[in-house]
Amino acid sequence: MTRPRSTTIVAERALVDAGLVGPVRLELDGRHIVSVVTGPAAEQGAAPDLELRQGTLSPGLLDLQNNGSFGADFADATPEQWAQVLAGLASHGVTGVQPTIITAPLDELNAAFDRIHAAQHRHADDPVCRILGAHLEGPFISERRKGAHRAECMLDPAPEALDALLDNPSTAAVLRTLTLAPERAHAVAAIRRLTARGVVVSVGHSDATAEQVWAAADAGATMTTHIFNAQRPLQHREPGVAGAVLADERFYIGMIIDGQHLHPAIARIVYSAAPGRTIGVTDAIVTAGLPSHTSLMFGGQPVANDDTGTGRRPDGTIAGAGIILDEAVRRMITSGLDPAMVLASCTETPARSLRSTRLGQLKPGALADLVWWDEQWQPRRVWVGGTEIRAAAPYPQ
């Protein structure tokens, strides 16, 4: 591992402003990017410290919906597991993550946020995947669209339920995104309260009509969670959740891009319908990055990866993805989708959805979180805050 310092990198091709351009010259000053030059001028001046004459340079990947990986469940991970999973994600080019906690009793949720907050402080200066804040997926969701969540733990986002969460200092400090069903009682008021605190409210696990989704947007909701999965589907007379968010430019579209939760043809439709608004996520769970058929507990119930890298309950219900975000990027590109579009959906667009100017972009002032991909879209070199770390071995083809 090398320590951050002033460095010049010239790349043959890089993702800048959602497009693949080149050549590109980056000047790094320790942890940050201080200048970006594209085109012929990039190859002028002093010899760079590093020349990347093949492949593609991009910002580090940001996974805004990840429940855990490498045997660690973010809901109850130990300090040792946090260290392992954050290092493992970074080695795959994932430099920012929103640990996602699913439906559970409120006291268990607060305990999970206590651990996330502690891990965020513990690893704040380490060259590992950054904890961007927590994503609470539930418990204010619909029993009709519960997916792998426990219906007995679901409830309305009434003021007293929000008080039980937000009065916990760790929860108030780390909660950054909350998925709810806007058709539940008290949901619109809850959306106003949460967004006033800077929380991104995402519509998901919902049987809402389009009108109810648009009312949520009027109250401040700006995201949807894993479009088409666990939500009222698109129909020609009732747009449902999927149609409502695709048609409304106020929404960013979270989409699982493992090629299993959605067919790649549907992913292509979403990217086309919501250019610049689509966010690729994994919805990874504890089995992500582990061999197929490894059985572990997730959300209080057993789960294991099948042969496609999809985490399933014993009854076959999909519980999440068993892959890391770099593999999801490869799957989308291999399916024929535009690499720039896919990469932007995992870097620039999620950063913009979180209103961050320091993440997910190659621009002056941004953090020097970088990934150099080879021609098979395997991460070969990774930097976190200007510090180069060891990249994971290439995923088997």
Q: What is the pLDDT averaged over residues 191-198? A: 98
Catalytic residues: 283
- What whole-number distance in Å separates Cα of residue 266 and Cα of residue 280? 13
21-25, 68-72, 76-80, 312-316: which range is least confident on average? 312-316
pLDDT number for residue 18:
97
| Residue 166 pLDDT class (50, 70, 90 cuts) | very high
| Residue 313 pLDDT class (50, 70, 90 cuts) | confident
Between vectors from CA 290 to CA 330 and to CA 314, what angle results, nearest 5°?
105
Evaluate whether 372 touches 380 at the Cβ level (below 8 Å).
Answer: yes
| Residue 129 pLDDT class (50, 70, 90 cuts) | very high
Evaluate whether 200 touches 153 at the Cβ level (below 8 Å).
Answer: no
Q: φ, ψ for residue 58 (rounded to 5)?
A: -140, 165
- What whole-number distance in Å separates Cα of residue 93 and Cα of residue 102? 25
| Residue 167 pLDDT class (50, 70, 90 cuts) | very high
pLDDT number for residue 330:
98
- What whole-number distance in Å separates Cα of residue 186 and Cα of residue 181? 10
Q: What is the pLDDT averaged over residues 3-11? A: 82
pLDDT tens per residue, range 334-364: 999 999 999 999 999 999 999 999 999 999 9
pLDDT number for residue 381:
97
| Residue 4 pLDDT class (50, 70, 90 cuts) | low
Q: Is the bond leading into 139 cis (omega within 30 degrees of zero)?
A: yes
Q: Max alpha carbon distance in the chain (Å)?
A: 64
**How deeply is 271 buried, as exposed, middle or buried, from its count of CB atoms within 10 A (0-12, 13-18, 19+)?**
buried
pLDDT number for residue 9:
97
Q: Is the pLDDT of residue 89 over 70?
A: yes
| Residue 3 pLDDT class (50, 70, 90 cuts) | low
131-140, 196-205, 284-293: which range is least confident on average? 284-293
What are the start-end ranges of the E strands in 216-350?
Answer: 223-224, 252-256, 278-281, 295-298, 301-305, 310-312, 318-321
| Residue 192 pLDDT class (50, 70, 90 cuts) | very high
pLDDT number for residue 394:
85
| Residue 271 pLDDT class (50, 70, 90 cuts) | very high
Evaluate whether 118 touches 131 at the Cβ level (below 8 Å).
Answer: no
Q: Which domains does the chain have, with CATH numbers?
A: 6-58+363-389 (2.30.40.10), 61-353 (3.20.20.140)
pLDDT tens per residue, range 242-270: 999 999 999 999 999 999 999 999 999 99
Q: Is 169 helix (H, G, I), strand (E, B) or coil?
A: helix
pLDDT number for residue 319:
84
pLDDT tens per residue, range 93-108: 999 999 999 999 999 9
Among candidates 121, 109, 209, which has minimal Cα distance to 162? 109
18-27, 28-37, 51-60, 297-306: which range is least confident on average? 297-306
Q: φ, ψ for residue 97 (rounded to 5)?
A: -145, 145
Q: Is the pLDDT of residue 1 over 60?
A: no
pLDDT tens per residue, range 200-253: 999 999 999 999 999 999 999 999 999 999 999 999 999 999 999 999 999 999
Percentage of the chain beyond pLDDT 70 is: 98
138-152, 175-189, 321-335: which range is least confident on average? 138-152
- What whole-number distance in Å separates Cα of residue 253 and Cα of residue 246? 7
Q: Is the pLDDT of residue 148 over 90?
A: no
pLDDT number for residue 293:
86
